[in-house]
Structure 1
């Protein structure tokens, strides 16, 4: 297994997408995005990378040779295929990568606010278990840079919903949401061991090495990428 989280450096894009933007939909020059994606293949050492059409939902897709070129609106993908990288693009949302070493299954999950509320990471683990026979106690999770409770201020209405439906512990200073903690708890509820859950200690809004929609509005997307094989 090989995985990585990119930052905003080392690519071809110009301001305000400088330099390693991986998304076509944000207004960047498509030629530069294509160059960046090709460079990402080199970094992850894969011939193919699967990019999702992310819609902030909870649809999870299992990829095989039949549908690998036909992945539409979803926010999580998983596969048994070797040397096929799975990619989740973000600019504040939680990029979550999953790996079950015994069955050799990998997954990439886009856990924004709506996806987290819908339990997308739990549904991804469920599909790994049901579709591939994975053991959740063996699954490893890698949560990449994302906006954290220091910066993610939400409306009073949303804060109230979170307190009522999910618990007050996810709201700090009345209106700051801790999405990373919600996803960690969902992973634990799905049977993952705490020692197998790895959280990157980086807030995208605080650290300008990463794209942040909350901070910049017009910006690029960085990625979490994972694949089976060396």
Structure 2
């Protein structure tokens, strides 16, 4: 099955978290098989079939709010993106039955929920978004104190695979102290002046800086697991997975 539900300890019972893998699906190589991205060059009909199957695997009546992601910091109400994708990198909702969704193939998906279960959000966080404040934007949109928010970090390019140039480290040095920056950026053994970056650790620091302490992670590297995950860094031309979060409707809530 391409859709996997994550049961998170301590999270609200009415909030459900999902991620997809590349298993099964209708897309052909190099997008094989459960590609959900319409913007990557895949056959549109195959992608729409995959999206239809995804919706059928979600709780009955769920509507998916897709985004046109641009590595920015803009956060929108998910309902505004139900009929046509809105340009943004995060969405939030207090409505039951609407799934906030982000697509990834190395960038970090971050799913957020108020501890009360009353509002949720999904965030697409590549290094640019993390450095520019996309997580802060999304947490602010929830309208809840950060200490009352919990976060889940999905499949992402791992710290041993994400080589970056000095400009990326410099972008984070604008708000990180040197010790934390050194912990998140290890010198690359392959290219002088380059670093191996840890997006999971950077996200935890960014969230912690605004007072959000409850962070759980899938701890799965997209690059090192080609049978399950798409990876842009590994393959170049490839598909996209999705991470989704939704609030159960009252009739299906536990």
Normalising by structure 2, report the TM-score: 0.82
Paired residues in the alignment total: 223
Give, in whole Å, the separation in 2 of the partners of 1:68 and 1:206: 33
Give, in whole Å, the separation in 2 of the partners of 1:34 and 1:70: 14
CA contact (8 A) 2:78 2:98 kept: no
Give, in whole Å, the separation in 2 of the partners of 1:6 and 1:180: 19
Partner of 2:73: 58
Output aligned runs, 1:13-32, within 5 Å: 13-32=27-46
Normalising by structure 1, report the TM-score: 0.90
What stretches of structure 2 of length at least 5 have no aligned partner?
Answer: 1-14, 189-194
Instruction: Look up the SS of the partner of 1:28 in the other structure.
Output: coil
Partner of 2:151: 141
Q: Over residues 195-219 of structure 1, what are the superposed CA-to-partner deviations in whole Å (9 max), with x where a residue is unaligned? A: x211111111111110000000010
Q: Tell me by how many angstroms 1:13 deviates.
A: 1.0
Give, in whole Å, the separation in 1 of the partners of 2:28 and 2:132: 35
Instruction: Look up the SS of the partner of 2:68 in the other structure.
Output: coil
CA separation of 1:165 and 1:122: change in aligned 2, threshold 3 A:
closer
Which stretch of the first structure deviates more once superposed, 90-99 or 100-109?
100-109
Give, in whole Å, the separation in 2 of the partners of 1:50 and 1:144: 18
Output aligned runs, 1:73-84, within 5 Å: 73-84=87-98
Instruction: Look up the SS of the partner of 1:12 in the other structure.
Output: coil
Runs of 4+ with >4 A deviation: none
1:180 aligns with one of 200, 221, 228: 200
CA separation of 1:120 and 1:161: change in aligned 2, threshold 3 A:
closer
Q: Tell me by how many angstroms 1:165 deviates.
A: 4.9
Q: Tell me by how many angstroms 1:164 deviates.
A: 5.8
What stretches of structure 1 of length at least 5 have no aligned partner?
Answer: none
CA contact (8 A) 1:211 1:220 kept: yes
CA contact (8 A) 1:163 1:170 kept: no
Partner of 2:222: 204
